[in-house]
Amino acid sequence: MPARLLYIHHDCFILEAGAKTLLFDYPASRYLPQAAAQVAAAHLAGTDLTVFVSHSHDDHFDPNLAAATSRAASRRFVVSDDVADLYGTVLPADTVVLEPDMVREVGGMTVEGLESNDMGLAYRIDVAGLTVYFGGDLALWDWPGNSPAANRAVGMSWRRALTRLAERPVDVALTNMDPRLAESLSGAPELLQRVQPRYFAPMHLGGHVAYIEQYAERLTRDGSVLFRYARPGDVLDIEDAPAA
């Protein structure tokens, strides 16, 4: 069935797929403009909501997440183990905690935790006939100040992740495209080329969305739709996956 992806801010997105709503990496309030928070609240109200948290950095996780999502009709939470270790006292008791390589059935979805080369996890999720990849902070973090050995190591871990991800088709991929890494864009073009998702959403822009158009040529390939969002609440319509 058709679905849609909504941009909120930074790495925070909402996926509406059939009767299910998925919220990714809702950040702490100092990283979330009020207008973006209002858009999120309006779209979460009354939903059957599953909240995903990739890791505990506060540009990806709000410790007050339970309050921020309280208007949903029903909720479940999926978090990485570092979030549970650091914030277990504020998480609902039935929160699903994942570690790398764990697979769980959550609210009618199949959720797989993929090891990150930063903190926490990335997720591969099968929901409503779609396979969705959400990268969190798994990326090609080849910072110029790193040693050559460190950048070789991060490149190896990144490409191992891409090899695993490309083992089966991905309909929607959300991955970091950090503009501070202008040469590699933190691996986004490489993921696009190797994984070949049908829909592609760049992330980790801190609200500086003009970089999407600046680098659009490097983020475009035949057979993949680039989500060119410009403001909170912008929508990418997702069609059903073609029959095998």
Give the per-residue SS3 of 155-203. Answer: HHHHHHHHHHHCCCCCCEEEEECCCCCCCCHHHHHHHHHHHCCCEEEEE
Q: Over 80: is that where the pLDDT of 241 sits? A: no
Residue 158 sits in a domain whose CATH number is 3.60.15.10
Query: pTM, whole model, 2 decimals?
Result: 0.97
In a domain, 82, yes or no: yes
Q: Write down the pLDDT at residue 2.
A: 81
**Model confidence pLDDT, tens digit, residues 160-201:** 999 999 999 999 999 999 999 999 999 999 999 999 999 999
242 occurs within a structural domain = no
116 in a structural domain = yes
Residues with Cβ within 8 Å of 113's Cβ and at least 6 positions away in sequence, in order, are 80, 98, 99, 100, 101, 102, 103, 121, 122, 123
Give the three-class secondary structure for 114.
strand
For residue 7, the enclosing domain spans: 3-229
Question: In this predicted model, what pLDDT tens digit does every residue of 49-105 receive, in sequence order?
Answer: 999 999 999 999 999 999 999 999 999 999 999 999 999 999 999 999 999 999 999
Whether residue 48 is contained in a domain is answered as yes
In whole numbers, what is the pLDDT of the chain averaged over residues?
Answer: 96
Answer yes or no: is 24 within a domain: yes
- The residues pairing with 202 across neighbouring beta strands, listed in sequence order, are 175
pLDDT digits (tens, 9 = 90+) for 16-28: 999 999 999 999 9
In the chain, the number of structural domains is: 1
Angstrom distance (rounded) from CA 156 to CA 193: 17
Residue 242 has what pLDDT? 65
pLDDT band at 240 (very low <50, low <70, confident <90, very high): confident
How far is Cα 143 from Cα 151, in angstroms, rounded to an integer? 7
Please give the average per-residue pLDDT across 1-11, as a whole number: 94
What is the structure's pLDDT at 243?
58
pLDDT on residue 44:
98
In a domain, 87, yes or no: yes
In this structure, is residue 234 part of a structural domain?
no
Instruction: Kindly report, residue by residue over 192-211, the tens digit of the pLDDT.
Output: 999 999 999 999 999 999 99
Q: Does residue 169 fall inside a structural domain?
A: yes
